[in-house]
Amino acid sequence: MANTTTALRRQIGSASDLRSVVRTMKASAASAIGQYESSVAALGDYARTVEQGLSVCLRSVDPKDLHAQARLRKTGAAAVQAIVFGSDQGLVGRFNEVVVEHAMAHLGSMPKKARVWAVGERVQARLLDAGLAPAGSFLVPGSVGLITRLVGQILLEVQTPGRELAGVAHGGVLMLFYNRPTGVSYEPVCQRLLPLDERWQRELARRPWPTRQLPEVLGTGPVVLRAFVREHLFVSLFRASAESLASENASRLAAMQRADRNIAELLTDLGARFHRMRQSGIDEELFDVVAGFDAMAPQAMPGG
């Protein structure tokens, strides 16, 4: 009996230690979610500035040129490149499976086979399991400050040596697949960065300037346009990475909350078993004492 109660006490201690770890991970995930969501909000002003610059450049572009990339893409001649954002670490539920299933559903309908890059070791493994070998992979940034480096690495990879950025001058297709936070959960997103959406370009070209002082494009128009397109790509990739990281931590937070509830139930059950076993041991000892007293009582009586 002593060995059994000792084992239960050890299990209770282990479960309590594990619960402390789970609660620490919960707090870390909750903190990270706010950090990445704040970075996305702070990026909004810069994104609006880039769109204003694009609106000025697009006004000087021949409308016929806005359809050239779309025609090339419809013929199936455009190269297709895709970035799939996932995680390097586990304890995130079906976070990686969801984004890979979403990517496979879209890429399977493309006229040409896509070259895919994975952001995260876990999502890379899921892509391989799905029969799609990534052309390369990137490490998931561990903080907001490291997202900029990731974006730079991605932009270098999607460039064709000796040419302009794929899609800017050669009609290539660049797509992003990632999970976007939706309150306490997330949903998979497919975003086509290149070619630039025609309707979006027309809307930007017609957008009124916010002041009376009209802007002027300095330098060569196409060069300036490509520079603003690069900034647009940077903003979009940064936002996708930050939202993916926020979703990853939201998924981890949900998993840790489930684990915390399960551990609490386990501790309640172990505690009840421990107290029942301890009470049973005490009762047995009391019965032994009473039985011993009853056995000795006749011998202690006078004249016995």
Q: Where are the domains of the chain?
A: 2-18+258-294, 24-253
The CA distances from residue 75 to 93, 173, 182, in Å, are: 40, 12, 36
CA angle 11, 14, 17 (to 5 degrees): 150
pTM: 0.79
Residue 206 confidence (pLDDT) = 84
Residue 288 confidence (pLDDT) = 63
pLDDT above 90 coverage of the chain, percent: 34
Residue 300 confidence (pLDDT) = 56
Average pLDDT over the chain, rounded to an integer:
82
Residue 74 confidence (pLDDT) = 52
- The domain defined by 24-253 folds into Pyruvate Kinase; Chain: A, domain 1 (3.40.1380)
Q: In the chain, which stretches have pLDDT less than 70?
A: 1-3, 61-78, 111, 159-171, 220-221, 283-286, 288-295, 297-304
Residue 77 confidence (pLDDT) = 54
Residue 191 confidence (pLDDT) = 94
Residue 301 confidence (pLDDT) = 55
